[in-house]
Amino acid sequence: MLRWRCKALMTTVLLLFSLTVCQAEERKDEWKKPDFNFRGIRTILINTSIDPQAELDEFSLRRLETFYAQAFFQEERWEKTNFRFITSNQLKERISNITGVNMQQLEREDQARHQAELERFTPGIVDAVLHSSVTAFGYDQRFVPEASRTYKEQEEKEVEVDVRDSTGKWVKKKVKVKQPVRRTVTTPAHYDTYGNAGVTYILVDAKTNETVWMLLDIREARNKDPLAMTGRIINRAAERLSKL
């Protein structure tokens, strides 16, 4: 995951969107730089990250990788756009081919030089960097106090009534009638479970380091899976980006 000036960018988006990490207050915001020529962008590096407070297990991490791959590398939606995407590993491979230096090995042995090489060659290889950060993921428990509801309904009952028979004699006869009945239903106190998910996106011009597009999508829903919600957010962001 490329750390290319990510901290400064995240500070910017936090200020603009007033986002509190890992809270599930629903919000959908989007901004793009006026008059920016998005048609001038072709190659986009995808830089993904996860906030430390958004705890994901290994299974969820692998699923997220699949979501990104499907949304940005396998979808037909990009055939009608100029945008083509590369991963951090693909970027490093290209730099290695240019410099003759094994970037994977360099990252282990000299992180400072590794970072310097990334910043040196990235603007010449890609036109923009898309920073995608999972900022909310998990479940919330909300206490719901006991509540009662009273309502009326028509209840059918069988009753005896006095009627005259064909001879004029009074006799007992059973008939069915409907009578209003008041009922009360009580829901015990309990906890509702809400899934929450949130992702921020920042598209940066690689040549000028200027932010040109941002999207914030935070969702919450009762009894929903955060992983599935995150997948829908990723797909929506890709769809919005393809319309630029």
Domains parsed from the chain with CATH numbers: 6-141+194-242 (3.30.160), 147-187 (no CATH)
pLDDT in tens, 115-173: 899 889 999 999 999 999 999 999 989 899 999 999 888 888 888 888 887 888 888 88
pLDDT in tens, 55-94: 788 999 999 999 999 999 987 889 889 999 999 999 999 9
pTM: 0.76
**C-beta atoms surrounding 130 within 10 Å:** 22
- Pairing of the two strands 27-32 and 84-86: unpaired
Taking the C-alpha atoms of residue 96 and residue 102, their distance in angstroms, rounded to an integer, is 5
Q: What is the pLDDT of residue 79?
A: 87
Residues of 184-211 as b/e, b for ≥16 C-beta within 10 angstroms?
Answer: eeeeeeeeeebbbbbbbbbbbbbeeeeb
Taking the C-alpha atoms of residue 88 and residue 115, their distance in angstroms, rounded to an integer, is 12
Taking the C-alpha atoms of residue 226 and residue 180, their distance in angstroms, rounded to an integer, is 45
Amino acid at site 85 = F
Strands (E), 79-209: 84-86, 128-144, 147-164, 170-187, 190-205
